[in-house]
């Protein structure tokens, strides 16, 4: 009798506890378009590791690199539809949702990555994280890759050398205008299609930081890389607003603390990773790396700079002014 009462009580207890114990962890699918050994690829992996160490029973992170789940053409829509929960697209890919982020594409606006990072800490940049809220896009942090270099099938020393070439670009009107300034064209194309388009000759040039040049082996089809440092490639780590807000407060706070930690690490290590990628490309010896004198670089700056004025109204004079104050010249 006593045994059956105890058994019944235990079963009842188990029934009460089981749903809590068996509560399914929240799944965060993190999709991205680059290789694993890049600033973004490493950041995604570190995020997964820290979440599983600290919140393993509550949150599970699945990382899909190299456009294996979604690519440039559909990843933002997939996030808005709840098919993925995290992305880190380049700031050049948000044109359909906000014009203000175009500030990051303006050529020669930031002297170096340190200047970009200073701007990202300013209030104006923090506001831009929320600029796409009405589209369900919730900005969590800025991640950086590095300064972009021009590559091509011919040596680009002076701006006139780019005339007539077709460059693969990210879907940014600023980048399109930047190449138009040189008498060249820009073809908007998904990152995953870049190598094939260069192989086929549909495009003859591109702009990338060292890490993407090396990890995509673009030096196999681009015999010349000019170290222009003319712009930077930066990302916004984003989630779907409704999804993010639906995460229980305590878990969300812990996730946000992890994001802060990971973002610091990504942004601290990005330059070093790009330096190593540059060394790899030099060691491979497939592409000639052209360094510019101060005067040569100034000529590129002069050629591209008129783009700023054309986009000032769309970006907002206040945002542009704030960005212009971060260089240490
Ligand atoms: C590109 O399309 O060139 C980049 O945005 C790819 C990336 O995510 O680094």
Domains of the chain and any CATH numbers: 19-324 (3.40.190.170)
State pLDDT tens for residues 20-56. Answer: 455 899 999 999 999 999 999 999 999 999 999 999 9
d(Cα 156, Cα 143) in Å, to the nearest integer?
Answer: 29
CB within 8 Å of 126: residues ≥ 6 apart: none
Query: Which atom of ligand 1 is closest in space to residue 89's alpha carbon?
Result: 8
Yes or no: say if 105 and 172 are a contact pair by the CB < 8 Å rule. yes
* pLDDT beyond 50 at 312: yes
For residue 19, the model assigns a pLDDT of 41
* DSSP symbols for 130-167: TTTGGGTEEEEEEEEEEE-EEEESS--SSGGGGTT-EE
Mutate to test the pocket of ligand 1, among 36, 38, 105, 145 (most ligand atoms within 8 A of CB): 145
User: What is the per-residue pLDDT for 135?
Assistant: 97
Which ligand 1 atom is nearest residue 190's CA?
Answer: 2
pTM: 0.92
Q: Is the distance from CB of 210 to CB of 146 less than 8 angstroms?
A: yes
Pocket test for ligand 1, best of 194, 233, 274 (most atoms within 8 A of CB): 233
Q: Which atom of ligand 1 is nearest to the CA of 208?
A: 3
Q: How far is the CA of 89 from the centre of ligand 1 (A)?
A: 7
| H or E element at residue 303 | helix 294-304
Cα-to-centroid distance, 324 and ligand 1 (Å): 24
Q: Which atom of ligand 1 is nearest to the CA of 206?
A: 3
For ligand 1, atom 9: residue with the closest CA: 34
| Ligand 1 geometric centre to CA of 24 (Å) | 34
Ligand 1 binding residues, C-beta < 6 A: 33-34, 40, 90, 145, 170, 191, 208, 212, 233
Between the CA of 235 and the centroid of ligand 1 the distance, in Å, is: 9
Residue 326 CA to ligand 1 center (angstroms) comes to 24
- Atom index in ligand 1 nearest the CA of residue 88 equals 8
The Å distance, Cα 34 to ligand 1 centre, comes to 7
* Among protein residues, the one whose CA lies closest to atom 1 of ligand 1: 191
> At residue 92, does pLDDT exceed 90?
yes
Residue 67 has pLDDT above 70, yes or no: yes
Which residues are registered as beta bridge partners of 240? 137
Strand order of the β-sheet with 232-240 is 59-64, 26-31, 86-87, 232-240, 137-147
Ligand 1 centroid from CA 178, angstroms: 17
Q: In this model, does residue 306 exceed pLDDT 90?
A: yes
pLDDT digits (tens, 9 = 90+) for 162-218: 999 999 999 999 999 999 999 999 999 999 999 999 999 999 999 999 999 999 999
The closest residue, in CA terms, to atom 2 on ligand 1 is 191
Which residues, including other chains, have CB under 8 Å from residue 249's CB and lie 6 or more apart? none
pLDDT value for 4: 54
Say how far apart CA 237 and CA 18 lie, in whole Å.
35
- Distance, in Å, from the CA atom of 320 to the CA atom of 103, rounded to the nearest integer, reads 7
Question: Looking at ligand 1, which residue's alpha carbon is closest to its atom 6?
Answer: 191
């Amino acid at each position: 009798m006593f045994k059956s009462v105890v058994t019944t009580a235990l079963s009842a207890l188990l029934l009460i506890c089981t749903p809590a114990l068996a509560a399914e962890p929240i799944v965060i699918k993190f999709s991205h378009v680059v290789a694993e050994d890049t600033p973004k690829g490493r950041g995604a992996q570190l995020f997964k590791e820290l979440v599983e160490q600290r919140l393993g029973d509550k949150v599970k992170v699945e990382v899909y690199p190299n456009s294996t789940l979604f690519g440039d053409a559909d990843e933002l829509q997939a996030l808005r539809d709840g098919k993925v929960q995290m992305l880190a697209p380049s700031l050049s890919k948000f044109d359909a949702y906000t014009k203000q982020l175009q500030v990051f594409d303006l050529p020669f606006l930031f002297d170096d990555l340190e200047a970009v990072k200073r701007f990202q800490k300013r209030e104006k940049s923090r506001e831009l994280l929320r600029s796409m809220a009405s589209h369900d896009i919730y900005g969590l942090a800025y991640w950086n890759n590095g300064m972009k270099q021009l590559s091509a099938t011919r040596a680009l020393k002076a701006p006139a050398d780019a005339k007539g070439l077709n460059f693969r670009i990210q879907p940014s009107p600023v980048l399109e205008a930047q190449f138009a300034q040189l008498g060249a064209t820009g073809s908007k194309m998904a990152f995953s299609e870049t190598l094939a388009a260069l192989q086929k000759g549909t495009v003859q040039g591109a702009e990338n930081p060292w890490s993407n040049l090396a990890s995509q082996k673009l030096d196999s089809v681009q015999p010349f890389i000019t170290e222009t440092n003319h712009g930077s490639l930066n990302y916004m780590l984003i989630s779907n607003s409704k999804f993010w807000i639906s995460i229980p407060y305590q878990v969300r706070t812990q996730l946000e603390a992890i994001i802060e930690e990971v973002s610091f690490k990504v942004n601290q290590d990005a330059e070093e990773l790009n330096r190593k990628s540059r060394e790899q490309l030099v060691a491979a010896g497939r592409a000639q790396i052209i360094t510019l004198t101060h005067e040569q670089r100034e000529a590129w700056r002069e050629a591209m700079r008129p783009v700023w004025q054309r986009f000032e109204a769309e970006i907002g004079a206040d945002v542009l002014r704030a960005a212009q104050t971060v260089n240490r010249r």
